[in-house]
Amino acid sequence: MKKDIHPEEYRLVVFKDMSVDESFLTKSAAPSSETVKWEDGNEYPLIKLEVSSKSHPFYTGKMTLVDTAGRIDKFKNRYAKHKK
């Protein structure tokens, strides 16, 4: 294994699945500028997710349409210049 390639700054972080409004607390080194108060009364960094195991069809067994970030609008804006 290569040395000095893994982050050393692991801390507790809250991940929130925005499509089903479900949160979980785990360790991560991912950066975050937002914080949230957790069930234990402590404040932790917040990382927002569009899809997690609580909403992904593979784990839930249900097909759901997840369009929280306006993916269709993003597509139209990105390729609008090619129409002209």
pLDDT digits (tens, 9 = 90+) for 60-78: 666 655 555 666 777 777 7
Name the pTM for this structure.
0.63
pLDDT digits (tens, 9 = 90+) for 6-64: 888 899 999 998 878 889 999 999 999 999 999 999 999 999 988 776 776 665 666 65
Q: What is the pLDDT of residue 39?
A: 93
Residues 6 or more apart whose CB falls under 8 angstroms from that of 29 comprise 7, 8, 9, 10, 11
User: Residue 3 is which amino acid?
Assistant: K
